[in-house]
Structure 1
């Protein structure tokens, strides 16, 4: 494509009245981060529940269940932090562009 069709930094002279200046970047998806964080927390909980000493008071499955809840919460919290870091990095690599409306709204 020619640079005149999609300028990376639009100038005010080429901007029409209906055009909108937008910020374009590849944003990460929120829910995959949360799912992976929770899954890693549950996996670590099962590993710690079945690798430690067996308790006389609780079964290994009960310990795994209790630890899964806590470790999944910690995993989701860390995944939220990782998501925010990745989002901040991708936002810094953003570029400005002009969005041109395709046509008039057809729902009347």
Structure 2
């Protein structure tokens, strides 16, 4: 069983005058989400372009290029939404801590 007071949770008596209370959590990185979303969109576009019916007006490469732009755009949008959901979940698991300034207090 857990005690009601966690040892990592600072109490007001432990806080020095220069300490700052902060929230600590493992934040996801934005650009990997966006990159993976765009890459998945391009892969789906190529699969769609080269497995679908061939058009008499456009080559498969032209269709693949057009679909790549469109699917990459929607892949980035969906990846951004997934990023926001994951970030919200990790923020709920945040814990509070005290940040102790280091160095000379005159140079702050």
Scaled by the length of structure 2, the TM-score of the pair is 0.89
Give per-residue Cα distances to partners, 1:32-83, cap 9 Å, x unaligned: 0000000000000000000001111000000000000000000000000100
Range 82-91 or range 96-105, more displaced: 96-105
Shift in CA distance, 16/68, structure 1 to aligned 2, threshold 3 Å: same
In structure 1, the partner of 2:4 is none
Q: In angstroms, what is the RMSD of aligned CA positions?
A: 1.7
Unaligned runs of 5+ in 1: 1-6
Structure 1 distance, partners of 2:83, 2:8, is 27
Q: TM-score, normalised by structure 1?
A: 0.89
- Structure 2, unaligned runs of 5 or more: 1-6
Alignment of 1:27-106 (within 5 A): 27-104=27-104
Which of structure 1's runs of 4+ aligned residues deviate more than 3 A?
105-108
